[in-house]
Amino acid sequence: MFTGLVSDVGEVLAVETRAEGLRRLTIGCRYERASIPAGASIACSGICLTVVGTGEAGGRTTFSVDAASETLRVTTAGQWIEGTRLNLERSLRVGDELGGHLVSGHVDGIAEIVARENRPETARFVLKSPAALSRFIAQKGSVALDGVSLTVNTVVGEDFSVLIIPHTLKVTTLGAWEPGTRVNLEADVMARYAARLLERQ
């Protein structure tokens, strides 16, 4: 589990096709190498991926993860190339502060930025969600976008908006978002359970 609070911005250093439908990604980060054991879970722009190896390159730590065909199909991982910047978060440990909201790292689909409004110190984004996921997105509810825990401001059909504060724009990849950017979307798990309960009534 994760909280949607990004702790580093990493960079894809290599993409290797290992077998049909399987890619190995090597990612550079600022984490201490000794703190990343094999089998650790790291959310990479919202996708929970398992570390299969670590190393060092250019004075920084690297870790490798495998992305299978389903991950490549339903997330933006299929578009990642060398140089792609990723929001990183280590998995939640017992006793850690839950500063965002509970995020599983299981991406539901891909949303697209349809508008960006730059304000004096903030930025407002309007996104279009996949039709099947729009019912899980509610005004004042939580959503994870590229692994960042955010509060939904408005919802109109399949479109919803979020307001990003200066700190988040600075320490995540969100500052580079523009219309047309595709991002990983994970709906709030509580919204999913609520919708499921309503279906049974």
3-class secondary-structure state, position 135: helix
Please report where in the chains the tokens 């550079």 appear, as a residue. Answer: 28
pLDDT for the residue 27: 98
Range of the domain at 68: 8-90
Q: Exposure of 46 by Cβ count < 10 A (0-12 exposed, 13-18 middle, 19+ buried)?
A: buried
Instruction: Among 56, 90, 124, give the residue marking a domain's end.
Output: 90
Tens of pLDDT along 26-84? 999 999 999 999 999 999 999 999 999 999 998 999 999 999 999 999 999 999 999 99
**Which residues belong to the active site?**
2, 41, 48, 50, 68, 106, 151
pLDDT for the residue 124: 98
In a domain, 95, yes or no: no
In a domain, 100, yes or no: no
For residues 144 and 83, state if they share a domain.
no
Tens of pLDDT along 87-133? 999 997 766 666 667 899 999 999 999 999 999 989 999 999 999 99
Characterize the bridge pairing of strands 22-29 and 8-19.
antiparallel
Residue type, 4: G
- How many structural domains is the chain composed of? 2
For residues 15 and 86, state if they share a domain.
yes
The CATH number of residue 161's host domain is 2.40.30.20
In a domain, 102, yes or no: no
